[in-house]
């Protein structure tokens, strides 16, 4: 990592990538720009996937041990739900896209990215105000137009400001923003549990906190596509375990 660019040297091995990730966690720093997409970046995603699976394996083993000694843990929203194509699509495709845009789309600190996320979130809020809980076709149509319009304006902002680098003030406060983003990402998963069990569910969002750090690292060093891909693969592994467990039962 250099003082001028706060960028990490490319890793030549899985161990090297993990070492870069550890160094980033020790001192989060925002690169001027993410590395361009390519084979090396894809390999970095796969290396972080191995780390993610290892961490998830340890956490699952701990959870299994806790349940084995008779301690009850809250059930997630998926418990008892028949997992069909719609839920699989939502978990593997929609959730990674939406959550990465909301929690890490802006983490590059570049004006176009920050503005785009603000516009899209504003459009989603408008859509909820227009059509949330409504069955009126006109309201739902207006909500859909708000979301589509927000996305188009956001993309236009990214394109128009594509040559602008990270903002200086953003880079200065990046460590706090990185950890807040990671904490917010983990915290929102508490809503997967009943409201009266959220306090007990706090340890159960440790997996989301752990992968949130990896997603943040990938986002700023390799681009938003990289964090979306790891998120997709992580959720795919999770839903596969759920389906396998259901089949075994």
44 neighbors 17 (Cβ within 8 angstroms): yes
pLDDT at 1 over 60: no
- 89-134 pLDDT, tens digit per residue, is 999 999 999 999 999 999 999 999 999 999 999 999 998 888 776 7
Residue closest to 132 by CA, chosen among 119, 142, 122: 142
Task: Give percent helix, percent strand, percent coil of the chain, each to the nearest 5.
Answer: 75, 0, 25
pLDDT for residue 189: 93
Distance CA 249, CA 245 (A): 6
Rg (CA), the chain: 19
Q: How far apart are the first and last CA of the chain?
A: 49
pLDDT at 135 over 80: no
98 neighbors 117 (Cβ within 8 angstroms): no
Between 191 and 231, where is the model more confident?
231
Between 45 and 201, where is the model more confident?
45
Q: Taking residues 238-244, report their average pLDDT.
A: 87
Q: In whole angstroms, how far apart are CA 122 and each of 13, 79, 160, 171?
A: 41, 32, 19, 24
- 159-191 pLDDT, tens digit per residue, is 999 999 999 999 999 999 999 999 999 999 998
Distance CA 171, CA 169 (A): 5
- 68-82 pLDDT, tens digit per residue, is 887 777 877 777 778
Between 67 and 154, where is the model more confident?
154
Distance CA 101, CA 118 (A): 10
SS3 41: helix
């Amino acid at each position: 990592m250099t003082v001028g660019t706060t960028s990490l040297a490319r890793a030549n091995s899985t161990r090297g990538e993990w070492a870069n990730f550890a160094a980033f966690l020790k001192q989060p720093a925002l690169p001027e720009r993410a590395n361009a997409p390519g084979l090396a970046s894809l390999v970095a995603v796969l290396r972080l996937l191995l780390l993610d699976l290892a961490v998830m394996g340890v956490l699952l083993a701990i959870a299994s041990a806790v349940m084995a000694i008779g301690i009850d843990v809250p059930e997630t929203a998926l418990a008892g739900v028949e997992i069909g194509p719609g839920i699989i699509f939502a978990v593997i495709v929609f959730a990674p896209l939406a959550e990465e845009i909301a929690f890490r789309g802006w983490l590059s600190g570049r004006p176009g990215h920050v503005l785009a996320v603000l516009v899209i979130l504003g459009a989603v809020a408008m859509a909820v105000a227009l059509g949330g809980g409504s069955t009126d076709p006109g309201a739902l149509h207006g909500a859909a137009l708000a979301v589509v319009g927000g996305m188009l304006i956001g993309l236009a902002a990214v394109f128009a400001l594509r040559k602008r680098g990270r903002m200086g003030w953003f880079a200065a406060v990046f460590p706090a923003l990185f950890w807040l983003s990671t904490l917010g990402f983990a915290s929102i998963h508490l809503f997967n549990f009943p409201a009266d069990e959220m306090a007990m569910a706090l340890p159960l969002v440790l997996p989301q906190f752990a992968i949130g750090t990896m997603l943040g690292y990938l986002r700023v060093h390799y681009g938003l596509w990289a964090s979306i891909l790891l998120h997709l693969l992580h959720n795919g592994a999770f839903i596969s375990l759920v389906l396998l467990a259901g089949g075994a039962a």
